[in-house]
Amino acid sequence: MKLQAALDTLTLDECLDLLKETNGSVQIAEVGTPFVIKEGMRPVRAIKKAFPNIEVLADTKIMDAGEFEADACFEAGADIVTVLGVSNDATIAGVVRSAKKYGRKVMVDMIEVQDLAKRTAEVDQMGVDYICVHTAFDVQATGKDPLDDLKVVNQVIKNAKSAVAGGVKLATIDAIVNEGAEIIVVGGAICNADDRAAMAKALQGRLK
Ligand SMILES: O=C(CO)[C@H](O)[C@H](O)COP(=O)(O)O
């Protein structure tokens, strides 16, 4: 299991400090979608250069022009790129082609997929590395969390590994760990913690 820290709202300098403070607890640094919108691929390059041993995920949530957009992320040094599960198969296939070309990985973000079992079965046949269940930030306030969706994906997948995102915190991580996921994504619970290093260490301590 790997802990992925989602860096969504901090500045680049704050992210570099966070990764220094939490070094050893975080295996994957996610350059979050809001961060990509603000800064493009600059944080991907900077984080990869400063922390060559940490995997960098570009959370681009690609929806079209899959190969072209994924190429740009991998050229910047991303180890993993995200594409949306609701995208056309041709878009996901393009991202997979790009990843194979660069020797990198693809995560499919299943945010807002309506028939999760059906789409997971389809995407699982497409050569992707991770299938990530994701409770959208905008619906987390309703109390929904991603555990039930993770159970669905874990029952269906035969090739890809599962990942989970959306409001995961210390109080909810044990149930996720017990269910099983290769990557557990935590954003706000680390970035907004009073002591980020202690929080990342505590979360990492719960992983198997
Ligand atoms: O992709 C995202 C939002 O679309 C976030 O990075 C992901 O949900 C993790 O952040 P948090 O733990 O704060 O929900």
Going from the Cα of 147 to the center of ligand 1, the distance in angstroms, rounded, reads: 15
Q: What is the residue extent of each domain of the chain?
A: 2-206
Name the pTM for this structure: 0.98
Could you give the ipTM of this predicted complex?
0.98
Tell me: domain 2-206, CATH 3.20.20.70, correct? yes
User: Is 148 a residue whose pLDDT tops 90?
Assistant: yes
Q: In which band, very low, low, confident or very high, does the pLDDT at 23 lie, cut at 50, 70 and 90?
A: confident
Average pLDDT over residues 81-106: 98
Residues in the chain: 208
**What is residue 99's predicted lDDT score, i.e. its pLDDT?**
99
Place of tokens 């557990």: 184
34-73 as b/e: b if 16+ CB within 10 A: ebbeeeebebbbbbbeebeebbbbbbbbbeeebbebbbbb
Task: Say if CB 99 and CB 81 are below 8 A apart.
Answer: yes
Query: Best mutation site among 142, 185, 191 for ligand 1, i.e. most ligand atoms within 8 A of its Cβ?
Result: 185
pLDDT tens digits for 192-204? 999 999 999 999 9
Going from the Cα of 110 to the center of ligand 1, the distance in angstroms, rounded, reads: 13
